[in-house]
Structures are given as structure tokens and as C-alpha cells.
Amino acid sequence: MKRILITNDDGFESPGLHALVEALRPLGHITVVAPTLEKSACGHSLTLTRPLRFVEIDDDFFKLDDGTPTDCVYLSKYALFDERTPPDLVVSGINKGANMGEDITYSGTAAAAMEAVLQGIPGVAISQVCGHSGCREVDELGYELAKEAAFRVCRKILDGGFPLPKRRFLNINVPPIAPSECRGYRVTKAGYRLYGNDAQVHRNPRGEEYYWLGLHPLRWVKDEKMLCDFEAIAAGYVSVTPIQLDLTSYEDLDRLEKWL
């Protein structure tokens, strides 16, 4: 039986996490290790300044108190699996909200898949994009399309092997629509997101100033060829993006050599 490790960055109580478990249970033996608290936008971070503890919630279902998604994958491989039989697949999600464009670098969801491929395990990150009125639409729609996408992609991996070379993972984003409205799947590149500043200043009852970081609207540089993840989602497709961990800007090597 195939061994699947599931994690996320929204915490062990997240509806998206439980939807993913339900979707993938027919494919193999599921082990869940998720953060105790929400760790959105924690990036590819490891906890080095305090001890971590697995807390068993149910059979093969643990929260890591108080770890990051990267901690969950890193520790699970060595603490919960035999060294000779690591997980066959790590799946991270279903995240509540998009992870497209440069947001991948912030994403704890994507980071778990990054850690998986660093550990030599195929990795998939899957995120449910929110609609124009926010994530209330996700709560109303549920995660049915995301569950279908996760099952389809993971079954292909487990049946036929991972389609990418080493140190690469799949980043999947699902549009906020019903399965019947989906136009299909599109292989995409990561788009260029346009960022703003939504740092809101407030004062506590003692008059001390503090800041709360808000959410930016999903805006991006228009892709005329409709090849990026943002464009695919806007057109009603499930976006599947291959992501590599090698961040070297190869086209600039010669230029930099001359500059030095």
C-alpha cells in the first residue's frame, strides 16, 4: 500500500486539510502531521530555537506543537517513518487561498512540498483560490473541485511515477467554482504578481501603536499568451505549475561575470 504524508499551513483543524484526507484516502495509507496553529506565509522555515512535540489527535493524525509545515515534513520522515520506507508522496493543503506567482516564496503550503523534494520524496502543494468576495465563497462551495484535482494528480503520480526531475514539485491552484464549471487543467508558469502595501496602523487601549498586515487583491502582470497561473485561474482552469528549487538566474551569469 502506498504511503502518503499530508500536511498544511492552516493548522490541524483546517477544513481544507480534512477535505484532502478524504480525497486521498482511497489511494493509500494516510499519515497527517500538521501545525498546531495557522502558519500562513511562514515560508520555508525550520524551528531551531525551541523543542517540538508530536501530539496524537487520532490514529496516524498528529499536530506538531508548535511547528511549521517544513518542520512537519522534516521530522515526520525520520520520526514516524522507517528510513527504508519513507512516504511515497507528500501532499500539502488544501490551502484556503491562492499560492500563485511570487507568493510561492511566502507560502508555508508550498514550503512543505519544497521540503519533501529536498528529502527525496515527490511533493505536491494544492491551494483553493478565493473569489472576489473573499473566502466565504470557498466555505459555500466546499472543496469539491480541489478534492477532484488532488485525487486525479496524486493517483497519476502513485500509478505512473512523478513527472518531474529531482528538486522540483507541483504547485496546483484551483479556481473558486463548482466542478461542473471547470474548463479543465492547464500547465502554467508562475505569473508576476503586483504587490501593494496593506499595513494598517492601530492603537491598543493603552495608546500604544501596532500594525496589522492585511491582504492584497490578486493583481498580476497581464500574460498575453495566457500561460501563467493567474490567467488560468481567471479563465476557469485548474493551474498546475512545475516549480524548481534552483533559484539561479542562469541568463545573468555571463552579464555578472563581465560586470565583476
Q: Please give the Cα distance from 135 to 154 (Å, whole number).
A: 25
Q: Which of the listed CATH numbers 3.50.50.60, 3.10.350.10, 3.40.1210.10, 3.40.50.300 matches domain 3-191+224-247?
A: 3.40.1210.10
CA dist 231 → 22, 172, 214, 253 (Å): 29, 14, 24, 30
pTM: 0.94
Least confident residue range of 63-67, 148-152, 209-213: 209-213
Q: Please give the Cα distance from 235 to 1 (Å, whole number).
A: 37
| Model pLDDT for residues 137-159, shown as the tens digit of each residue | 676 778 999 999 999 999 999 99
pLDDT of residue 136: 64
Q: Please give the Cα distance from 71 to 49 (Å, whole number).
A: 12
Q: Please give the Cα distance from 256 to 136 (Å, whole number).
A: 47
pLDDT of residue 134: 60
Peptide bond into 30 cis (omega under 30): no
pLDDT of residue 246: 96
What residues does each domain of the chain span? 3-191+224-247
Residue 135 binned pLDDT confidence (cut-offs 50, 70, 90): low
| 3-class DSSP state of 203 | strand
Q: Please give the Cα distance from 221 to 213 (Å, whole number).
A: 23
| Model pLDDT for residues 173-190, shown as the tens digit of each residue | 999 999 999 999 999 999
| Model pLDDT for residues 106-118, shown as the tens digit of each residue | 999 999 999 999 9
